[in-house]
């Protein structure tokens, strides 16, 4: 198993891509900390599924935009499970808002969750990874980072920032045997997508060259690859997994 004996932290691990990734890592031997922001029940449900696979899992709560809360969360995970070897920065919020109605307050919150949040978690796990001279990090970005999205302005800007963060951390972390990559998903069938209208969901499906929405498990496969030694010569990279949707303006 590719992750036998490894400790993983998956932010936003109670649903969607995070949940699928946590189950994938546990299925391949990892002990997993499931981060959540609000739903204790959903996080515990994922932990139970992991325990059913014969692996250990714990739920941990934090607002990832709150640096002290993140530091406390990582300390709790380290004390309970050991030094974090694998980090998946998946937690995020979309928060679509029409360009002309965008407020500074909305900008601040979306940037805080989607860009400052991943930075906070990386900086919290980094000392442990440096000390053990091993770490694997995957940041979940979005194809919104690579396209024009005026009604997703803060989200798109933050996700572009995540790609830049990944690239900029690459060199300094590589000296300590820490690899960092990102994945840019397209339209994925998650709870978040259920918040859009059926018409919008159909538009997303019909304008994706593969003719369907992506599944969380497909993103989990890409993330697991980037965390594994199968991608041993990859760092600072962004893998686009969009069903070809990146080609659509």
Q: DSSP letters of 191-222?
A: TTGGGS-HHHHHHHHHTSTTSS-B-HHHHHHH
CA–CA distance, 75 with 67 (Å, rounded to integer): 12
Residue 36 designated active-site: no
DSSP 115: I
Q: DSSP letters of 52-107?
A: HTT--EEEEE--TT-HHHHHHHHHHHHHHH-S--EEEE---------GGG--HHHH
Tokens 């300590």: give the residue. 176
Angle made by CA atoms 226, 221, 187, in degrees to the nearest 5: 105
| Encoded tokens for 4 | 């036998």
3-state secondary structure of 184: strand
Neighbour-count burial for 81-98, b at 16+ CB within 10 Å, e otherwise? bebbbbbbbbbbbbbebe
The catalytically annotated residue of 74, 155, 180, 183 is 155
Tokens 């690859």: give the residue. 225
CA–CA distance, 25 with 85 (Å, rounded to integer): 12
| Positions marked catalytic | 155
């Amino acid at each position: 198993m590719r992750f036998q004996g490894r400790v993983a932290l998956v932010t936003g691990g109670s649903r969607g891509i995070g949940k699928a990734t946590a189950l994938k890592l546990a299925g391949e031997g990892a002990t997993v900390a499931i981060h959540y922001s609000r739903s204790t029940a959903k996080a515990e449900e994922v932990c139970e599924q992991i325990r059913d696979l014969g692996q250990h899992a714990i739920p941990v709560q934090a607002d990832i935009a709150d640096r002290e809360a993140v530091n406390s969360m990582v300390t709790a995970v380290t004390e309970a499970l050991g030094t974090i070897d694998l980090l998946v920065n998946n937690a995020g919020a979309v928060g679509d808002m029409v360009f002309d109605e965008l407020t500074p307050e909305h900008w601040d919150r979306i940037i805080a969750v989607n860009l400052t949040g991943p930075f906070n978690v990386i900086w919290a796990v980094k000392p442990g990874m440096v000390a053990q001279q091993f770490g694997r990090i995957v940041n979940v970005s979005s194809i919104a980072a690579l396209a024009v999205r005026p009604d997703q302005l803060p989200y798109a800007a933050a996700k572009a920032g995540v790609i830049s963060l990944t690239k900029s951390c690459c060199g300094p972390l590589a000296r300590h045997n820490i690899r960092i990559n990102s994945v840019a998903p397209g339209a994925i069938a998650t709870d978040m997508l259920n918040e859009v209208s059926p018409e919008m969901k159909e538009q997303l499906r019909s304008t994706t060259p593969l003719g369907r929405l992506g599944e969380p498990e497909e993103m989990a496969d890409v993330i697991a690859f980037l965390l594994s030694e199968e991608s041993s010569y990859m760092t600072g990279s962004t893998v686009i997994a969009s069903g070809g949707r990146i080609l659509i303006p």
